[in-house]
Amino acid sequence: MSELSEVADTLEARARTACAIVREAGAVALAAFRDHGSLSVETKGTQDWVTNVDLEVEALIRARLGAAYPGDAIVGEETAQDPEGGNTAWVIDPVDGTTCFMLGLPQWCVVLSYTVDAVPVVSAIYAPVTDELFHATAGGGAFLNGRPIRVSDAASIGDGLIAVGANAQGDPHKSAAFIGDLVSDGGMYIRVGACALALCYVASGRLLAAYEPRVMPWDDLAGMLLVREAGGRTNAFAPSLVCEAKRPVLVAAPGIWEAVAPLY
Q: Which residues are annotated as a binding site for Mg(2+)?
A: 77, 93, 96, 219
Put the strands of the sheet holding 209-215 in their side by side order. Answer: 188-190, 161-164, 209-215, 247-252, 233-234
SS3 252: strand
- The amino acid occupying position 108 is W
- The DSSP annotation for 108-122 comes to -EEEEEEEETTEEEE
- Alpha-carbon distance 232 to 61, whole Å? 29
- Alpha-carbon distance 183 to 220, whole Å? 26
Under 8 Å between Cβ of 226 and 184: no
**Angle 41-242-119 (CA atoms, 0-180°, nearest 5)?**
110
If 0-12 CB within 10 Å is exposed, 13-18 middle and 19+ buried, where does residue 79 land? middle
- Alpha-carbon distance 109 to 197, whole Å? 7
- What does DSSP assign to residue 85? S
- Alpha-carbon distance 156 to 40, whole Å? 44
- Alpha-carbon distance 59 to 50, whole Å? 14
